[in-house]
């Protein structure tokens, strides 16, 4: 199932008018896909900016068109790296690095998706871009032909490119044969709900009202998407001013004077997203009750 299909299914299950996801998963990939409903779709950009953790398997000996299991083989090698050789190149792929996205990716070139051009047989050249790799660890080496790794990375990182480039660096070629996203900050594996669980509940409760009541237990408050961003807790008078789109003074001994991103809460619930300038919270996006 693709990310768009998953969103459509969740939108139907919860009877939502709006829904959106925070970061597409490759067709090969499994794992965590944060989905926002209704007003919570306004928080999607903040979740997409969060760090992501992937566990993945690189299979050595082949380079493929898609840099994963689904592509055609274009290069082969009989070389196989040792743990020491793998560990020796990992520093090249941590920190802020330049990375060329896969040819089969959603990157736009002159208005066209790279994967569409590649499928048509066109020559695809994608410029290298800056990405951040916070950590890159070996989890296990199950056999000479593969390695299981875990990466924590910033927005825009392609794990398929990591596998391709590490394989080239080691002189043995490599591609992703398994990929699972385990975290999209601030959401982690503890937050995962299998789609099958939701579908089973919906089948048990065919009436929409009963279905919604059964499924509501899995919803997280919209404010859960704002972890790591300064919070401005407001009393009711100030909250009412913000609801009308007006700025308010940020009070409290440790309150920030300036912040490019902040959120205001009323009774612990997300009220608005905005900025703090000269000690004033200025709302940019106000949420409904």
Domains in the chain, CATH or no CATH each: 3-49+187-218 (no CATH), 52-184 (3.30.2350.10), 229-286 (2.30.130.10)
Q: Give the pLDDT band of residue 115 (cuts 50, 70, 90).
A: low
DSSP code of residue 187: B
Say if residues 174 and 163 touch (Cβ distance below 8 Å).
yes
| Mean pLDDT value across residues 253-257 | 79
Beta-sheet pairing, 259-266 with 231-234: parallel
Provide the Cα torsion 182, 184, 186, 189; round to 10°: -20
- The yes-or-no answer on residue 26 being catalytic is yes
pLDDT, residue 17, reads: 92
pLDDT tens digit string along 77-102? 999 999 999 999 999 999 999 998 88
Q: Active site residue: 5, 26, 78, 254, which one?
A: 26
pTM for the whole structure: 0.89
């Amino acid at each position: 199932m693709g990310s768009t299909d998953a969103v459509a299914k969740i939108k139907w299950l919860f009877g939502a008018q709006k829904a959106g996801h925070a970061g597409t998963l490759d067709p090969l990939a499994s794992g965590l896909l944060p989905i926002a409903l209704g007003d919570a779709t306004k928080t999607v950009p903040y979740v997409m900016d969060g760090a992501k953790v992937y566990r993945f398997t690189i299979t050595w000996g082949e380079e493929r068109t898609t840099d994963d299991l689904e592509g055609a083989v274009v290069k082969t090698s009989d070389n196989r790296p040792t743990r020491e050789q793998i560990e020796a190149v990992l520093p090249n792929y941590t920190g802020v690095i330049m990375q060329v996205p896969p040819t089969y990716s959603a990157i736009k070139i002159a208005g066209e998706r790279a994967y569409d051009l590649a499928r048509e047989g066109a020559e695809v050249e994608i410029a290298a871009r800056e990405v951040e790799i916070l950590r890159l660890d070996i989890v296990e080496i199950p056999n000479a032909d593969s390695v299981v790794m875990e990466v924590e990375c910033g927005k825009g990182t392609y794990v398929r490119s990591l596998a391709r480039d590490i394989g080239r660096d080691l002189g043995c070629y490599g591609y992703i044969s398994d990929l699972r996203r385990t975290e999209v900050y601030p959401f982690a594996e503890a937050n995962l709900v299998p789609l099958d669980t939701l579908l089973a509940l919906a089948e048990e409760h065919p009436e929409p009202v009963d279905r919604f009541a059964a499924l509501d237990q899995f919803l997280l408050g919209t404010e859960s998407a704002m972890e790591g961003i300064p919070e401005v807790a407001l009393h009711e008078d100030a909250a009412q001013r913000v609801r009308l789109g007006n700025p308010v003074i940020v009070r409290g001994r440790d309150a920030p004077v300036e912040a490019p991103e902040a959120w205001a809460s009323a009774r612990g619930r997300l009220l608005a997203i905005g900025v703090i300038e000269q000690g004033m919270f200025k709302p940019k996006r106000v949420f409904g009750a």
